[in-house]
Structure 1
Amino acid sequence: MRILIFSTAYLPFVGGAELAIKEITDRLSPGEFSFDLITLNLDGKQKAEEQMGNVRVIRLSCSKVLFPFRASSRAIALHQEKPYDRIWSIMASYGGFAGLFFKRRFPKIPFVLTLQEGDSFAHIYRRVFFIWPLFKMIFTRADHITAISNYLADWAKRMRATCSVEVVPNGVDIQKFEYGMSLPAEASAQAGNIEKEEIRKKIGIQKEDKIVITTSRLVAKNGVGDLIEAMQYLPENVKLVILGTGSLEESLKSKVQSAKLEKRVQFLGFISNQELPQYLHIADIFCRPSLSEGLGISFLEAMAAGLPVIATSVGGILDFLTDGETGLFCEVQNPKSIAEKIQLLLSDGVLRTRIIDNAGKMVRERYEWQGIAEKMKNALTGSM
C-alpha cells in the first residue's frame, strides 16, 4: 500500500506529531507499506529528498502559507507517476489543507486526517476565521479521522466530520524512559544512581534539594510562568529545572530575576529526545500547568520515567490523569494551587508511591508504541 503523508514539519525537527510519524512508520512492514512524506525545509539546511527509516522524505523550500499549494501540486505529480492508495494529513493545518486540495483533485483516494493539535480551539479559530468554511472542509472531506485524545475527537465531531472518528493516541518508548531495562535490577539501580548524581552535580543541584522539572515549549499555553511564580510559595530547597526553548524565554527569565529566584530556577534550553530520560531521572516531580493540551506526551514520558505528575484538568490530559490515582490536578493559572500540590507530593510518601505505581502501569498498558502502530495500521487500511 502506497501512502502519501503531508506534514508541515518532520525530523530533525522533533515534536509530538513528528515523533509519532516516525514511531508508527518504523513499526509497519516495508513489505506492506511504502511511505512518501512531503514537508517543509524549515531551516533551509536539510536535504531536498532522503530516505529516513521507512519513509521517503521530500522537503519543499517555501513559506508555510504556500505549503498547501506547493505540496498538493508535488503530490499530484507523484501520484500521476505512481498512484497512491491513501493520503494522510498530520493536523488540520497546512498539512490538512494540502490533503484537502489533493482530495478535491482525486476524490476517490481515501483521505485520512490525524489531529495532533495542542493549542486551544479559540487560538486556532483566531488563525483561520477568515477562511473558516474552507478550514471546516478539512474535516468534512476526510474519509477517516484519528485523534490523539477524546478532546480532539470531540472537536472533529463539532466541526461536522461525517466520517468515522477514533482515538489513536501518541505513545511512549517505555524502555527508553525506564532505568536500564537490559540490566539486572541491582546493576540498573547502581548505574541509574551514578548517572543521576553526575547530572545533578553538573547543573549545581545539592543532595538535599528537591527537583521539580518541566519539559515545555516556552509559550503561553504551557503555563511555565505560573510554575515559576509557584516557587515563591515553596521551601528554599525546592528547585525548578526547565527544559525547552520558545518565544517567551526572555520574559520568563526576567520573571525569575524580578522574583529573585535565580538560585532556584534553571533554564537548560533544548535537550534532545535521546538525552531527555536522564534529566527526568534526576527530578522528584514533573509539573506543567497547561492552559490547553491536545494530549500531553511529556506527561506520559514523565510517568514512564517514574515521576509523579502535576497537571491541569484541560484537554487530552483527562484521558490519562485521574486525580489522586495517576497524578494530581492543580488549578489553571493558580500558582498557589500548583505549590500546594508540589508540597503534597513532597510530604506524602504513600500518595507519591501510589501515583507513581498506578501511572507507570497505565502507561505500559495503554501507551506502548507497538500497540498504537497496530491501531494506526488498521485506520490506514480499513474500508472507507
Structure 2
Amino acid sequence: MSISKVGGKMKILYMTMMYPVPGCPQKGVFCHEQVKALIHEGVEVDVIVPLPFYDDEYETDTWIFEGVKIRYIKYFKIPGTIGFQYIGKYLYLALKKAKIDFKKYDILHADAPLPAGDAIRRISKEYHIPYVIHGHGLDVFFSNSYREAKNCKKITEICIKVYEEADAVAGVSQKVLNCIKQRVDISSKGYVIYNGVDTEKFLPIEHENKKLELISIGNLIPLKGHKYTILAIKKLVEAGYDNVHLRIFGRGEQETELVQLVQKIKMENYVQFMGYVQYEQVAKALQMSDIFILPSYYEALGCVYLEAMACGIPVIGCKENGIDEIIKDGEDGYLIQGKSVESIVESIKKMLENRRYKVMGVQARKHVEEKYSWRSSAQSLIKLYRNIIG
C-alpha cells in the first residue's frame, strides 16, 4: 500500500517531453510551473523527461531546477517518422532498464500519447497503477503532424489505444478534449485542467506610453496570424490612428516573409521585430504594453494570453480556439474570427474609445487572479488524481 493511501503525501510520476533543460530553461515552462504548484500543494512529484538517444541537448542524467529534481532518460528513436509508432515501447524498455521503483507511485501522469503516454500505459498494465494523459495541443492523435507519413494510421491507432485505456484524460481546454472525443469516448473520464499563470511574477505596473503600445508574442509561423496583425496596423494608420506601435517578439520560419511585408507596405515606423525573448523578460515586455494581440487560429489554449491578462492588459484572440473559453468578449478582451484583418482593426478601435483598454486591463487582471493561477490549476489536477485513486 502506498503512503498516500494511509494518510501521507500523494506520489506522482510526471513524464513529459516538454520540460526545461539547462540550455533552454523556458522550454515547456508551463509543465514546470504546474509541477511546482503541485509540490506547493503537498504532492510529491518525480519528473522524468525522455530524450532520444541522439539528442545532445543535455548529457547529465539529473538537474535540479527551482527546487524540482528532473531526471533525463535516453531512449531509442530513429530521426523522422520511421518507426514512430514504436517509440512508446522503446521508452518503456529504457524506463525498465533505469530500474525505477514504479510501485511507490499512486498516479502515472504523461503529457502526450507518444512516447510518454504509451510507455506509461505499459507500466500501468504491469504494475496496476492508474494513469492520466494530459493533452496540451490540438493535434491529439498526431494525425496532422504526420499526415504525409506512411505509418500515420498506425501512429493514430496507438494514440487511440492510449486514450482508451487511460483512467483519466486531461485537456488544457475543452477544445482539446473535443478533439479527442472525435475518436474516443472520454465522456466519463475527461477533465479540463486549464494552465495557469504566476500572478506574482506577471503583474501590472504603472506606466504611460507616448504611443499606444501593442504587443504580440509567438513563434513566427503562419498559424499565429502575425500577417493579419501587421495588415491591421496598416489599416489603422490609414484610418488616422497613427499614434500606434507594434512590437512582435518571436522567431520562426516566417520571419523573412513578415519583415518583407512590413517593408512592402511601408510600416517600418510602426512595426518592430524584437526577435527571441528570454522567458524572464516576457513579464517586463508585457508590463510596458497596452494591448496584447495574437490572432492564432490553431491554439489549444495559449499561456501567453493569461500572462498578458495577469499584467493588466486586455487581449485579442481567436474564436473557436482554447482561449475563447477564458476571454470575456468585450470585458477583458475581444474574440475575433481567424484570418480577419477587419476584426483586429475594429477591436483596437473599440479599446481606444475613451481609453477603454485601461478598464479592460483591470478586468483582465481580476479575472486571472480569480480563476487562472497555477495554484488553481494544481488544485484541479489534485481533484482529478483523487477521483481516479478512489
Unaligned residue ranges in structure 1 (runs of 5+):
181-188, 197-206
Q: SS at 2:327's partner residue?
A: coil
User: TM-score, length-normalised on structure 2?
Assistant: 0.82
Q: Shift of the alpha carbon at 1:101?
A: 4.2
* Distance in 1 separating the partners of 2:296 and 2:146: 19
Change (3 A) 1:158 1:118: closer
1:244 Cα deviation after fit: 1.4
Task: Point out where structure 2 has 5 or more consecutive residues left out of the alignment.
Answer: 1-9
Change (3 A) 1:120 1:5: closer
58-67 or 301-310, which moves further after superposition? 58-67
CA distance in 2, matches of 1:140, 1:102: 15
The count of aligned residue pairs is 358
What is the rounded CA distance, in whole Å, between the counterparts of 1:33 and 1:154 in structure 2?
31
Q: Does 1:23 align with 2:23?
A: no
- Contact 1:142/1:161, CA 8 A, preserved across alignment: no
Native 8 Å contact 2:35 2:45 kept in 1: no
One of 6, 14, 36 as aligned partner of 1:5:
14
* Cα offsets for 1:60-118 (capped at 9, x unmatched): 276574753442222223466553522211123433333334445x2622111111105
| 1:319 lines up with 2:325 in the alignment | yes
Corresponding residue to 1:230 among 229, 232, 237: 232
| 3-state SS of paired residue (1:212) | strand
- Asked whether the 8 Å contact 1:325–1:355 carries over to 2, the reply is yes
Residues 232-285 of structure 1 deviation map (CA, whole Å, 9 limit, x = unaligned): 101233221011112222222222222222222111112122111111122121
1:166, CA displacement in angstroms?
1.0
Is the CA contact 1:173–1:369 (under 8 Å) kept in the aligned structure 2? yes
Provide the identity percentage. 25
Range with greater deviation from structure 2 (248-257 or 61-70):
61-70
In 1, distance between residues paired with 2:39 and 2:58?
A: 30
**Counterparts in 2 of 1:1-384, with a 5 A limit?**
1-12=10-21, 13=24, 18-29=28-39, 32-40=43-51, 44-52=57-65, 53-60=67-74, 63=77, 65=84, 67-78=87-98, 81=101, 83-85=103-105, 86-103=107-124, 106=126, 108-118=128-138, 123-124=144-145, 126=147, 128-162=152-186, 164-179=189-204, 189=206, 193=207, 208-235=210-237, 236-349=242-355, 351-384=356-389
Q: Provide the secondary structure at the position in 1 that maps to 2:335.
A: strand
Instruction: Report the Cα distance in structure 1 between the residues aligned to 2:95 and 2:75, rounded to whole angstroms.
Output: 15
RMSD (CA atoms):
2.8
**Superimposed CA distance per residue, residues 269-303 of structure 1 (whole angstroms, 9 cap, x where no aligned partner):** 12122111111122121001111211121111111
Q: Tell me if the contact between 1:24 and 1:376 (Cα under 8 Å) persists in the aligned partners.
A: no
Question: Matched residues in 1 for 2:309 and 2:333: separation?
Answer: 9
Instruction: Tell me if structure 2 keeps the 8 A contact 1:288–1:310.
Output: yes
Contact 1:311-1:330 within 8 A present in 2 as well: yes
